Structure 1
Amino acid sequence: MISGSIDKLTPKGAVGWIYQANSESPSLLRAFLNGEVIGETVADLYRPDLHQVGLGDGHCGFEMSFGRALTESQLPFVKIKPEKIDLSLSLTEKTIYLDLLHALMRNAEGAGRTRSVLGGFWTDRTDAAQVLAGRIAVGSCPAELQPMLQELILNGYVVLPSVLAPKGLQAKDGTALVSIEQRAKATVATIKDVLDSMAKLLFRDSTVRLMRNIFDDHPIIYRLDRLKEETGFHQAASVEALPSPAESLLIYAAFPGASVRLDIIRDSHEMGEFGPAGFSRWTADGARELGAMAEKQGLSIEEVEFNNLDLVIVGPGLVHRVVASEESAVLRALAVPRRVTPLKYLSGAQSWVEATHVSGAKVRV
């Protein structure tokens, strides 16, 4: 049995330990970079912390100096192995890859990248405008979608006025959604009828084409909510647990009645991923934290009003809240690409009922 780890790795050397239960002599370790030996030492230093947990007499620590100084970008490729054994020690300090990222960013400040360590859509990249121009130039994206995609990239959301004309969202659609929420009182056939009508309403040609070009995939709506009054600040990934939270959109439409609005924290889709308390904005706590900070510090909040003929598509990471009166209500739909499935379905905890639109887009609840 062999155990050990690299506790610290710097451009000048490494610190760690290795323990072989049946060995009578300390291990000889060598450090490699691209097959070249850059350091060598014997693991015989006394480590009281290892002695206390029963790893022999504790004389299994090591401090190794490299024969030449490395750069930060080379550190992730360093391997430290015991002699005659094909085993690389693992690195306890996992920030080494973030150090690599920071080193690369310093050397290539203009390089495009996603704003989240989780990745995400191309629209969430720092060079999204250039990517869009390239897509238009090579014909992979229709030129008529350019204004809407530019608005989504710049503002984090896009309003599609009167796209639901001539009738738009109706009061009866809200009643139907209530029957879905109270699933115990609705048959599968009833739910499917509701989903069919929702698919025909939301998946207009213009909306499907837009989402396909954002997703690089077919859209699937996994959640339909009827909201009233004021919600707390949130963003798309805080509505449903997703394996890839940076790949999600929220779609809003108003039921008939007084106009409703979204309060949007301006440019929040471009803010850093983590807030002062360490919460990621991809989580519910992170979105609430950013919303509270916006109100306290007087950050710019943009008000976006819309009615039952309009659709508002909110991109990933944009923190916002819904404001509606008691007499009015808002439909909120969570849309993700076909390659993404909410965790509750992946775990097998729940099954779904679905409706497939003629465009190939789907609604599943």
Structure 2
Amino acid sequence: MSLRGSVDHLSADGASGWIFDTVEGRPLVVQALLDGRIVGEALAELYRADLAAVGLGDGRCGFEIVFSTPVEPTSLPFLAIKPQGGDVELPRTNLTGFGDYFRSLFAHAPGAGRPRSVFGGLWTDRTDAARLLQGRVASGATPAELAAPLRTLIFEGYALLRGALAPAGFGPTELDLLDSLEAGPPLDPEADGAARRLLEGLPAMLFRDAVVRVARAALDDNPVAYRTVLSRGRAGSFGQPSAAEALTSPAECLALVTCAGSGPVLLDVIRGSHELPEFTRAGQSRWLTAGAGAGIELALGEALSVAQVEIGPQDVALIGPGTLYRLRTPDGATGLTTWCAPARVSPVAILAAGAGTFSVRHGSGAMARV
């Protein structure tokens, strides 16, 4: 027996999906189990045109299970759908069940501290982040002088470090390299010599003491730059740092935005977007879906407003992983956005296909790895 299948929908009342025996092609009985107890079963013989179109027999391998009694939403992530007599659990096509789980959990414990993403994130995005910061400063784990920018990052979703690149920002050599590079796609050191030279100098340019100390405190580790993009001459679309890649980006990340040249560049931040719930009504995660569609849908539902921030040539803006933002670069200005993850998270695992294995280490412990 060789099986294929998935759970496409799961709720407190039932589950649906498909299962196909690629050897015998016969309909199978599927069972829903919770703590080893069968709470529902069905014969997978429902016709599905989408499955027939891809050659899964005649398409009669869909199932709908109605549970004998409704399942508590907090138990949904632990419910298994298996073929009768088998040990293999059918995978879920998305985060099926987790939305109901967290809505129920948070309703029962609204004051409990928790990450804003199923897959975790930075401590600064936890719902109890302000209390955590207070404890870190009181214990000496976080220097008191870092409390102000970290508090801003917690409450606003971003922090602007004025003069962090003083006294001169980027030098003439770096500005010439920036002018020679294309805006839009991530810089690729394997395909472009100028991009490689810029990335080689990026840690020294970007990871000044004022930046590294705040980034290190937010990431709980040394920062590793894994993606750099130039913006020039146009307003970009809204994005979210954790959803920057077509492949899933890490929930633990920061976007560092700087201005190259005489500037300034303008940053539009959707106020309070870092505190939005993770899931849309359709169960789509705003943290893990490429682009900002899910986040924008939630922001529109909350009628959130937009704050405009001006970033000068010596400034650095740190943007939290769940914050929705847009960079606007007036004519003659160039914006540089660099995504950083903590060193404990391997950037190689979240890079798009075709990336190289280029890395540079800075004396502070920070790195660029692309």
Identify the TM-score tier after normalising by the shorter chain: 0.7 to 0.9
Comparing 238-247 and 27-36, the one that deviates more? 27-36
Could you tell me whether the CA contact under 8 Å between 2:14 and 2:64 is conserved in 1?
no
Per-residue displacement from partner, 1:7-44 (whole Å, max 9, x unpaired)? Answer: 9988789999999999xxxx9999875467889x9x7x
* Aligned-partner Cα distance in 2 for 1:239–1:5: 27
SS in 1 for 2:347: coil
Match of 2:87 in 1: 87
Q: State the superposition RMSD in angstroms.
A: 4.8
Per-residue displacement from partner, 1:180-220 (whole Å, max 9, x unpaired)? Answer: 659689658x934x444332221122211211221122211
Could you tell me whether the CA contact under 8 Å between 1:291 and 1:319 is conserved in 2?
no
* Aligned-partner Cα distance in 2 for 1:292–1:81: 38
Match of 1:210 in 2: 214
Per-residue displacement from partner, 1:146-167 (whole Å, max 9, x unpaired)? Answer: 1111100111111111121122
Could you tell me whether the CA contact under 8 Å between 1:233 and 1:288 is conserved in 2?
no
* Aligned-partner Cα distance in 2 for 1:35–1:48: 26
Higher Cα Rg, which structure: 1
2:333 counterpart (312, 328, 337):
328
Cα distance, 1:233 vs. partner? 2.8
SS in 2 for 1:284: coil
Could you tell me whether the CA contact under 8 Å between 1:233 and 1:291 is conserved in 2?
no
Q: Does 1:280 align with 2:281?
A: no
1:246 counterpart (244, 247, 251):
251
- Identity in percent: 34
Structure-2-length-normalised TM-score: 0.72
* Aligned-partner Cα distance in 2 for 1:266–1:211: 21
Could you tell me whether the CA contact under 8 Å between 2:114 and 2:126 is conserved in 1?
yes
Cα distance, 1:336 vs. partner? 1.9
Shift in alpha-carbon separation, 1:12–1:353, aligned structure 2, 3 A:
closer
Cα distance, 1:113 vs. partner? 2.2
* Aligned-partner Cα distance in 2 for 1:239–1:31: 36
Amino acid at match of 1:87: D
Could you tell me whether the CA contact under 8 Å between 1:234 and 1:288 is conserved in 2?
no
Structure-1-length-normalised TM-score: 0.73
Structure 1 residue runs without a partner (length 5+):
none
* Aligned-partner Cα distance in 1 for 2:34–2:285: 36
The correspondence of residues 34-45 of structure 1 with structure 2, limited to 5 A, is 34=35
Match of 1:113 in 2: 114
Cα distance, 1:323 vs. partner? 2.4
* Aligned-partner Cα distance in 2 for 1:257–1:65: 64
Q: Does 1:355 align with 2:356?
A: no
Q: Does 1:228 align with 2:232?
A: yes
Cα distance, 1:234 vs. partner? 2.7
The correspondence of residues 114-153 of structure 1 with structure 2, limited to 5 A, is 114-153=115-154
* Aligned-partner Cα distance in 2 for 1:256–1:12: 59
Amino acid at match of 1:174: L
